[in-house]
Amino acid sequence: MTQKRKVSNLLALAVLSYLSQQPMHPYELSRTLREHGDERSIKFNHGSLYMVVGQLAKAGYITEVETSRAGQRPERTVYALTDEGRAEFRGWLAELVAEPQHEYPHFVAALSLIAALPPGEVVHLLRHRLGRLAAERAEIRGLIDTTLAQGVPELFLVEEEYRLVLLDAEISFVEEFIRKITDPETGWGPAWAQFHGQTGPPPKEET
């Protein structure tokens, strides 16, 4: 479904969002996105921004309103949202909120192949991961706290709170996984180590 949109890069959503407040030129968008901290939530890079702006213009969601010049700086093309752009923005955002998307996090991929590593090493790696997860958690926690302390309403931090919730869930999962491997009674370690190497994972049936 998402793939029917004329512009699918999420960076475009942020652009539509900012242009819905006022017309801007691409560099201004770029700066605003960075200052606002949106790059934590939306993959951003300079080149892609110009690409996306071009796509949006071609799709009719934004139009060039003027090309001004300030001081002796190069010309800047200022874009504004069109009515279709506003509709697209609302609709797209609504869809993203209402419909979960199937995604492919790296850790899921790794887990799906993890039997290829020996269990001892896996435990080691998972412990390392736990450390990183804790650090990340602390960082997000700090970001939230200092931002709230500046008086920003919690509403503008929900994405960080969501991240935090997912992080906590992942931490529990990893801890539990380590336990399942290492439990002296029922641990998978021995069977895993034995099987390891000669045979691959058995096929799974479709539902």
In the complex, the residues that contact DNA under the rule CB under 7 A are: 3, 8-9, 25-28, 31, 43, 45-48, 50-52, 55, 70-77
Q: How many CB atoms lie within 10 A of CB 92?
A: 18
Q: Which CB, 29 or 122, lies closer to DNA?
A: 29
| Nearest distance, CB of residue 158 and DNA, angstroms | 25
Binding partner selected for residue 71 from its own copies, DNA, none, CB under the kind-specific 5 to 8 Å limit? DNA
DSSP codes, 109-174: HHHHHGGGS-HHHHHHHHHHHHHHHHHHHHHHHHHHHHHHHTT--GGGGHHHHHHHHHHHHHHHHH
Question: CB of 21: closest distance to DNA in angstroms?
Answer: 18
- Judge residue 103's burial from the number of C-beta atoms within 10 Å of its C-beta, 0-12 exposed, 13-18 middle, 19 or more buried: exposed
Q: Between 57 and 130, name the residue whose CB sits nearer to its own copies.
A: 130
Shorter beta-carbon distance to DNA: residue 31 or 124: 31
**SS3 state of residue 25:** coil
Q: Toward its own copies, which CB reaches closer, 60 or 200?
A: 200
Return the one option of DNA, its own copies, none that residue 196 interacts with (CB less than 5 to 8 A, by type). Answer: none
Angle between helical axes of 83-98 and 46-59 (0-180°, round to 10): 120
153 binds, among DNA, its own copies, none (CB under 5 to 8 A by kind): its own copies
